[in-house]
Structure formats: C-alpha cells, structure tokens
Structure 1
Amino acid sequence: MKKASVAWVAIDGGPAYAVWCVALESALYVVTGPGEQAVPGLAAAGSAEVTLRGDHGGRIVSWPAEVTRVTPGDEQWASLAPQVAAKRLNSPQPAPELVDRWAAECVLSRLAPADAPVTAGDSLPDASHAEQPRETPAARPTRRPFRLHRVRRR
C-alpha cells in the first residue's frame, strides 16, 4: 500500500472511482471537493472498499476500509494535510495555499483497513471485471482527422 498513488474506491457497493491518494501511517488519504477529485458519498461514508493495483497494472488487493474525516484544526490536520499537499501532482498553487483552500472547501478522508482483504493473491478472480464507460457530460463528437497538407490525387 505504501507505493500506491492511485486507488479505486467504492462506496456502499456502488461503482468504483479512481482517485489519487497518499499512503501515510498505515492508511490512505484522499482529498475530495471543489477543484479536486469527485467521489460521491465519500465525505459522509463510514466505510468503503479500496482496490489497489500492482506494477503490472492488474489488481493485487481489495480491502474494506473504515472512512474517517480529518478536520481542520485537529492535531492530525496540522501534520497530515501538508504531507498530502506535498504529494499533490500538478497542484494549481503552492502547498501552504493548497492546505488553506482544502480547509475551507474540501474534505480530507482517511481510509484505514477495517478487516482482512476481501481479495488478494490466489483469491483474485480470473475474469477481467472490465465495465462499460459511464455516461458523462464530457463526451465530445468525433472530429475528422487533421491533415497538415492537401493530398493530391493523380
């Protein structure tokens, strides 16, 4: 888990969402909210299922997680939020400003293992478990290919 930077999180048996995360103190930390990633229901959830993949790209473990919220003003917030902000790729602002924005607008969730893994090692299924892409308003119509110059026909 300590090498994880991406995890799939499912809330209440719903679809899994790919999220960037930071592994610290035997738990994963995930930031959600405006300007960050969206995981519907994570901020209010008490539990979730986390799936991690290995270096080869395949799933290596799925485990139930206890979800708790790290709130601004806690001792944990003061030590954890800057560490998570330092690991944030493509940050729109410096880490101290990012932590302040998170305190005002976002939720920092701690996902800690609640029980033994659901699937790992030999218990991993052989099927791909690939799903159809979800509907999204971000879909665009397919455009014609760009041509740098005119093609002459003889």
Structure 2
Amino acid sequence: MEPEELQWGTKTPFKVLACVPFVGALGWFVVAGGWFELWPFLLFLAAMAYVWGRGGGARLTEDELVLRYPIGTRRIPRAEVSSARFTYNGMRIQLRDGSKVFAFLQPKWTSTEMSSGAIPGPGSAAYRITEWAAGR
C-alpha cells in the first residue's frame, strides 16, 4: 500500500540548527549595544533567515502536488501533471498543457539521474511524481 502523502525538502531540525548562528550574532549585537548602527544589516539577516528557513519543497497528496517556494505555495491538481525530471537547476515538472513548473529540489547525492539522461530512478522524487501523475 502506497503512503497517502509523500514530502521532499530540507528537514526542519536542519533548518533550525542552521539558523542558530544568526540568532547568536543577533544576541551578541544587542548585548554589545552595536545594533543601533547595524539595524539594516540585522533586518536583512532576519529576512534571509526567514526566506531560507521557509525553503522549498514538494508534497504529494492523493489528488494534488503542492510546491512550496520561499515566498508562496503552488498547488497543482493531479490531472494537470504529466511528468517530472531533475535538471542541473532543480526539478522541472511538465504539465499536460505543455508548460513547465520549477521546484526547489535537488536529486540525492547518490543519484545517477544527472548522468543518465535525466531518467528518474525508482524511489526519487521525480520518479514518484511521474508515476503518481500516470496513476500507477
């Protein structure tokens, strides 16, 4: 039996641990009293941490593909998805009307998709999305 919902993207604990240096730097600036001169930079760091923490990802439900972008989310019904494959810039999802959608996902480091003509291997996100779109 296939799981009802699949999800790909950066795991939450990794995102939290990666933001610890930003929080430490912010605390140091506030305690040292240097934040008055550097508040635009600190605001920029906070915005970047938010965008990075939100990250990109994909979730496959029974009837739709949900793509998460740093700002916003796109929901694509199953009937509109034709296939998916990885490129050097991320994952491209081919829709039935001929248009393409970009997802902020990369193949696993052990994947051979990039060297095999971008043919998705079993178990990869692109393979699972293509199989899901075909109704298998």
With structure 1 as the length reference, what TM-score do the two structures score? 0.24
Structure of greater relative contact order (alpha carbons < 8 Å, 6+ residues apart) = 1
Q: Which has the higher helix share?
A: 2
Q: TM-score, normalised by structure 2?
A: 0.26
